[in-house]
Amino acid sequence: MKHLALHTCCAPCLIGVYDELAAQADHITCVFYNPNIAPEDEYTRRRDTFVEYVQSRNIDYVEIDPHDDWTEEFGQFLELSSDEDDTTRLPECSVRCRACYRLRLARVGQWAIHNGCDGLATTLTVSPWQNIDAIHYAGAEVELWCPEVKFVASDFRDNYRMAQNKATAQGLYRQNYCGCLSSAVEAQEQRDARKLQRAADKAARKNAAHDHS
């Protein structure tokens, strides 16, 4: 493809996908559009880290204002998208997350059309914490809405650990939740549960060792 619009959620995830996608496109523009990220200082930190990284590699980029009002256009997208019951088809993906994928990809798809792009992809496909089936489905919906733009249904999850290690080595900020405040609460609950499980496992090993002594 000639010009790929790459929806970019953060710098660490971009590390995991950019080079492989660059081999498929003559030109890539990384589009930072993530109105889900909260609170405001978290948005600023992720955006600034993204800008720092792309500028260090001389990568083309743009930020779409997270407060950008495109309600009318998004309504048109929803009217053309599938009426299929997403809850049945994608039972492991919450309504909140499906709506977020559709919002971000549709907006970047619209930007792609207005800026002469013929391809669309997202860095979300590198994260094992995301629902890749729901992402691919949202991308397919955008392609139906914007037939001039082909959605690249990639799967870069095997690159996740490498990308995180490189981000750490480069001193880039790595967030510990997806973006919205609900995901922050969920992520903290998961960390607390893992901590309790580790404590329980440690106690079990200690008791087992004591029984054999």
**Does one domain contain both 28 and 115?**
yes
In a domain, 154, yes or no: yes
Q: What is the largest CA-CA distance in the chain?
A: 73
% of the chain residues with pLDDT over 90: 67
Strand order in the sheet with 61-63: 61-63, 27-32, 3-7, 119-122, 150-151
% of the chain residues with pLDDT over 70: 92
pLDDT for position 206: 76
Average pLDDT score, the chain: 89
**Does one domain contain both 194 and 109?**
no
Tokens 């496992």 correspond to: 201
**Does one domain contain both 150 and 209?**
no
Instruction: Taking residues 110-118, report their average pLDDT.
Output: 96
Torsion angle (degrees, nearest 10) of CA 179, 167, 60, 73: -10
**Does one domain contain both 208 and 150?**
no
Q: Please tell me the pTM assigned to this model.
A: 0.86
Domain count, the chain: 2
**Does one domain contain both 162 and 192?**
no
* Domain residue limits at 90: 3-169
Question: What is the DSSP code string of 40-108?
Answer: HHHHHHHHHHHHHHHHHTT--EEE--TT---HHHHHHHHHHS--S-HHHH-TTS-HHHHHHHHHHHHHH
Model confidence over 58-104: pLDDT tens digits? Answer: 999 999 999 988 877 878 888 776 555 455 555 566 788 998 999 99
pLDDT for position 170: 97
pLDDT for position 4: 98
pLDDT for position 158: 98
**Does one domain contain both 114 and 211?**
no
Report the CATH number at residue 111. Answer: 3.40.50.620
**Does one domain contain both 188 and 137?**
no
Residue type, 177: Y
In a domain, 174, yes or no: no
In a domain, 175, yes or no: no
